[in-house]
Amino acid sequence: MQLLQAVFLTVLVACVTAQLPTRTQKVPEIDQRCMECLCQASSNCDESLKCHNAGGDAYFCGPYVISWAYWHDGGRPGDKGRAHDFETCLNNKTCAEKAVRGYMRKYGRDCDRSGAIDCFDFARIHKLGFGQCSSDSILDTDYWEKFEICYIGYAEDNVASNYGNNGNIPVNYGNNDNIPVNYGNNENVAAPYDYADGQLQARRVHN
């Protein structure tokens, strides 16, 4: 009996260990540009989005669309010992970002086997979790297309190429003032793209 228990525990430890990310590479901190693109891909960065049930036991909160388990593994920011502290935190963009950073520090890995841990890996982990982040099924989702539009700058590159002005793109803010905004300044800031279905469809037609 003791032998069977020992074998069972050995197998259990092996299975759990296999699911944990390897630490052969240092996990970098997420820059703000990457963070904003995770937010855009998750909910169009809708800060008015609150906690909601997505079917079954799926309960997600805030603009980053995060679960209780994700928040817990991300270090439980904002935890004051009250039952709904996780909801209060995740519905606040700044607090939710602390959970994202904590989760990536803990589980960051080279999901796409590119040889480096970067924002593409973080985007996979954020949506699929660290255990399933190597799955390429994510590449055919609206989430991934929104992420690419934001992070790679598909829309920015196409508009900038038409202007030929090194990224100094005039943007109409609806007040009859075309205020130039420079997105070619190497700052880690995501451009304010429109993530409506029309833009995704236009991208698919172009490709």
b/e 178-187 (16+ beta carbons within 10 angstroms → b): eeeeebeeee
CATH 1.10.530.10, domain 27-162, yes or no: yes
Instruction: List CB contacts of 117: < 8 A, sequence separation 6 or more.
Output: 25, 26, 27, 28, 108, 109, 110
Q: Is 66 helix (H, G, I), strand (E, B) or coil?
A: strand
> Residue 112: which residues within 8 A CB-CB, separation 6 or more?
120, 121, 124, 134
Structure tokens at 66: 């995060």
Which candidate, 116, 99, 139, 149, places its Cα nearest to that of 26? 116
Asked if 98 and 74 touch (Cβ cutoff 8 Å), the reply is: yes
pLDDT in tens, the chain (207 residues): 555 555 455 544 444 444 554 556 799 999 999 999 999 999 999 999 999 998 778 899 999 999 999 999 999 999 999 999 999 999 999 999 999 999 999 999 999 999 999 999 999 999 999 999 999 999 999 999 999 999 988 445 544 444 444 444 343 333 444 333 333 334 444 444 444 455 555 555 445
pTM assigned to the model? 0.67
Reduced to 3 states, what is the DSSP secondary structure of residue 85? Answer: helix
CA distance 102 to 77: 9
Tokens of 158: 């196409």
Its sign, for the CA torsion 123, 125, 127, 132, is positive
